[in-house]
Amino acid sequence: MTVKRFFGETAREALRKVKAALGPEAIVISNKSVPGGVEIMAMSADSLAALQAETVPPAAAAVKPAVAEAAPPPRPAASAVPPAPTFDEEESEDYAVTLSAKARAPQAVHAWQPWRPPRQEAPAPAPAEKPKLRPLPPRQSTPGTIPGEAQVAAALAQANAAASSAPPPPVNDAQVQQLMDEMRAIKSLLERQLAGFAWGDLTRHAPARAQLLGEMLEAGFSGQLARRLVEELPESLDVQEGRKWLSAAVNRRMRTLSSDNDLIDQGGVFALVGPTGVGKTTTTAKLAARCVVRYGADKLALLTTDGYRIGAHEQLRIYGRILGVPVHVVRDSEDLRRMLAELSGKHMVLIDTVGMSQRDRMVAEQAAMLMRAGDVKRLLLLNATSRGDTLDDVIKSYAGEDIAGCILSKVDETAALAPALDAVVRHGLLLTYIANGQRVPEDLHLPNRTYLLHRAFKLPAPGSVHRLRNDELGLIMPTQAESRAAAPGAALV
């Protein structure tokens, strides 16, 4: 058997090659498209006849004379096979390549087998009876008539009963979440609109209160403290008298350290804690200088736990060398406990700690180390240039029963003192000192209430971009429900 493969860019070109190689009676076995053209498998008619002769086994040829009566009629010779269709290019512009009947695979001839009776098979199961259809209910009304009210009511009741008995459709969590987000957005928009309406109503019925509330918000006070004080403001007061009343109200709620109970006179062990860059080392040197002036260098000891920063303890050593006070470096709570036992005869021991962010988990470990060391009180340093919410985070992170008070640093660098003073008042902290510069020890003072209140209620300049208009004040006012909800940890008195 000779099967040849022909390839051409088109079917016409491939068929031309088949005709030239195998003659016009060539038999096409298969054709398919390949990359670059068409591939055709073809064979000659003589090769197909030889293939059919090879498929008859010898055993079948020996049995053939014995079963001459039952044998099928002889196959026609190869010459009797009708010629394969020829392909003439001039007869038609279009043509189809087909598989000739001669190319079909011949059936295999099996040896003779004696007749056997057919096997009795089990009867097939009878098909299941189809369910009988229920008869349709009788038509209640004739075509063209309008049903009565009773029929409509009965149909509606039946539909409601079917709807209530049907199981609810499955709910997608994503769809529920999207619906909840949309409802929250709508609620926020409504709250802002209602807040604007409430602000407009307040400006009409109580213009003095509205003006004083706007001034406190512009100064930097929190909305919680400002609303609380304005709600307690007597209605008979005008704007000028209302300012004095609000200043006195903040003064009553503010806890400060007086000259009679100065920490330098009290003595003890104090650790200065706070975020990085707040000025702990400089403030430690200022306190040390004040103690040396009053009690002498032999009554003071300086400790530092800041061994992480390069040159951190060297800065404190320079201050100690100037003051004539020894500086000791401690590593852990055991070292700190041993050092405090050795320095028990000192009037005051000041500890300079490592600055940590309020979001650092090491803050709790530092507080635990100081508490395990003995009777150590912490002084929290607050940066007066920070926002109110940042100060709230710092106070909440460093809060504890061993907090003896707080120190406001960088007061000279801030443009608005209200956020820092507001945080001190709301959290009920004891304001011990005010640091307003880098000089040691001049730039450390006891709290001056008159100065602090004047700075706190000072408004931005008239041309400042941070001044709010009336419509902007109405937009930032929260809802009444939120205004009466006190923030967690707030301690308004």
Mean pLDDT confidence for 431-460: 88
pLDDT at residue number 288? 92
What's the whole-number mean pLDDT along residues 379-408?
Answer: 89
CATH of domain 258-446: 3.40.50.300
pLDDT value, residue 81: 42
Q: 41 burial class (0-12, 13-18, 19+ CB within 10 angstroms)?
A: middle
Condensed to tens digits (0 to 9), the pLDDT of residues 208-249 reads 788 888 888 888 888 888 888 888 888 888 888 888 999 999
Q: What is the pLDDT averaged over residues 143-147?
A: 57
pLDDT of residue 420: 92
Tens of pLDDT, residues 148-206: 677 777 887 887 777 766 666 666 788 888 888 888 888 877 766 666 555 556 556 66
Domain limits, the chain: 3-103, 258-446
Q: What is the mean pLDDT of residues 132-139?
A: 58
> What does the radius of gyration of the chain's CA atoms come to, in whole angstroms?
51
> Is residue 435 scored above 80 in pLDDT?
yes
Higher pLDDT, 455 or 69: 455
Q: Is the pTM of this model over 0.85?
A: no
pLDDT over 70 (residue 410): yes
The per-residue pLDDT for 492 is: 45
pLDDT of 83 above 60: no
Q: What is the pLDDT of residues 251-309, one digit of tens each?
A: 999 998 888 888 888 889 999 998 888 888 889 999 999 999 999 888 999 998 865 55
Judge whether residue 486 has pLDDT over 80: no
pLDDT in the model for residue 251: 92
